[in-house]
Amino acid sequence: MQHFHEDLSLDTVAAQFYISYYHFSRIFMEETGESIYGFIKRCKIDQSQKNSRKRNLEICQICERSSLR
């Protein structure tokens, strides 16, 4: 996922597909078995884990680069 670090709303993402946020959320859940928010959170955690292994960074730097708040 390329844009997980951006502050995207469900409305913004759904608008890219010309559907309502409710419909997008429901389809995403049906297809993936997880919510869009759960998916984004998992991507951020995965990126944090990669950053912590690859670089000699402070924990606050890892969180910042992975958009974890």
Give the start-to-end residue ranges of the domains of the chain: 10-65
Tens of pLDDT, residues 28-42: 999 999 998 898 888
- pLDDT value at 24 more than 80: yes
Q: What is the pLDDT of residue 28?
A: 92
φ, ψ for residue 37, nearest 5 deg? -65, -40
Least confident range of 26-35, 37-46, 55-64: 55-64
| Alpha helices (runs of H) in the chain, residue ranges in sequence order | 10-16, 21-32, 36-54, 59-65
